Amino acid sequence: MKQDQTPKDQYYVAPIAREFEGASLGDRRLEARLLKVVEAIAPAPHRSLPQAAASAKDLQGAYRFLANTAVRPEALLQPHIEQTVQRCEKARVVIVAHDSSEIEYDGLVRRKGLGFLRSESTQGFFAHTSLAMAADGTRLPLGVLGLHCWTRETLGKSKKDGRKLTQREYAQREAKESDRWGAQVKGTAQQVGGRAELIHVMDREADAFPLLAELTATHHRFVIRATYARAARADEHSPKETMPTIVAQAQGVLQTEVPVSARPASGKPARDQTFQPRESRQATVEFSACTLHLKRPPHALGPEWLPINVVHVREVDAPQGLEPIEWFLYTSEPVDTPEQVVQVVEHYRSRWVIEEFYKALKTGCSLEDRQLESYDALVNALCIFIPMAWQMLLLRTLARTKPDAAATTVLSSTQIEVLGACGKQRLPPLPTVKQALLAIATMGGYIRTKRGPGWLVLGRGMEKLLLLEAGWTARQAQEGLACAVPSRQPDPRSAQS
């Protein structure tokens, strides 16, 4: 059989079934059914289960599997987490973006175990995901390291006896939704086990003094966007002011031009108030940074004063009538040089990859269109779709970030050989990543447009290529075995007789 001569340190797209191998469900029949369900869904994750199933028997088996109380989400996801840890070890330094998203379903028919979202007419659950990506500037998604799902039984703020909780009462609660941020940091660190350096990146919802204090005390690396104008002081001998006031006095270290993407209205008033709709534009932004001491809020846990680095990003001369860009970023990273300040900002900008990941789940995998009848079944389905959404995101990221690199940096030589022989699009002798992924997308049904390949065609094409590769490799193995077995010669004695 022909040996694969591609360097071993390159990054390959592997069959999605590998992300489920070794799942321990406590029953071999369940483990076999898992692989069968994955095999049915993987070629086109956006299709409904009735469309994906080969027969009525397989469809019934998939429904029973997802609703089986013996099938636990953590067991379904663990093989993917282990594969992700291996990719993190290879990357060495990894951004872990933590974020939550609403998973919403039609509210007309109530489903068992789902909770309220924004109103009594909406139902669903919340998913908090920790997505790992390379910290080398490519933002290459490596997989999911942690998942926490929950529901809300009531609407509105935390209450007790019909009234809103005081700050003291809320701080003293043993279990709070906000605890998930720190729990996910601990969980992902335990999964990785020191095999890679992790930098945790979080948006404004994670701006909680106890979390900042805990991450600092336990020496976790982090970048967290600030929400509150907290009380602070410039140093141990300065008077108390507010964090924005102190940071505004820091001298800018550089200015640069950045593209600002458009943000359409979401149709959700509360979200549109926080994240105002805007058109795309080029913005001039200034970076500055300093070290200060945050004052512990009343009733919070932690030290009275917390030393922390802050990076300030502010838009200069914003167009009239538009809200200027402004970020305050708490970080454990050094901010002594302009290069270090820029690096902190780039770490935070990596957070947008997890929003693309949620789009892959909801659009590429049609997660919110699933007609499953219970919360448990829907969360099990989420754990099956997570590796598929990650692979979709990986393919699109490769197409965008490494278009001119050699195709051998993302595909094995065997995959390229199969693509050249079986693909609809002719490949040059030494194809680039862009050429190879375009051929893969064409195999998945892509028709050339200005926008380039999307989630579905890349995913479909890659699954076809991997199936063809399996057959190609099996054929080569058979031919190699045939060549290795010497042909049988007739016995001269039998001829004489």
133: nearest Cα among 405, 355, 311 = 355
The pLDDT of residue 405 is 84
d(CA 409, CA 398): 10
Domains in the chain, start-ordered, CATH in brackets?
A: 223-260+282-345 (3.90.350.10), 402-483 (1.10.740.10)
d(CA 160, CA 305): 31
SS3 416: helix
Could you tell me if 329 and 224 are in contact, meaning their C-beta atoms sit under 8 angstroms apart?
A: yes
Please give the structure tokens belonging to residue 417: 């050989």
Could you tell me if 464 and 456 are in contact, meaning their C-beta atoms sit under 8 angstroms apart?
A: no
The pLDDT of residue 299 is 83
The pLDDT of residue 217 is 97
What stretches of 402-454 show up as alpha helix (H) in DSSP? 413-422, 433-443
Residue 306, beta-bridge partner list: 294
The helix or strand, by DSSP H or E, that contains position 463, with its residue range, turns out to be helix 455-484
d(CA 497, CA 193): 73
Tokens 């590796």, residue located: 387
d(CA 87, CA 192): 10
Max distance between CA atoms of the chain, in angstroms, equals: 113
d(CA 45, CA 21): 19
Distance of CA 269 to the CA centre of its chain: 26
The helix or strand, by DSSP H or E, that contains position 287, with its residue range, turns out to be strand 281-295
HEC string for 185-204: HHHHHHHHCCCCEEEEEECH
* pLDDT, mean of each 10-residue run, the chain (497 residues): 39 80 94 95 89 93 96 97 96 97 87 87 93 94 97 68 63 78 97 97 96 97 96 94 95 83 65 64 90 93 94 89 89 96 95 94 93 95 96 85 83 87 86 89 81 75 82 81 58 45
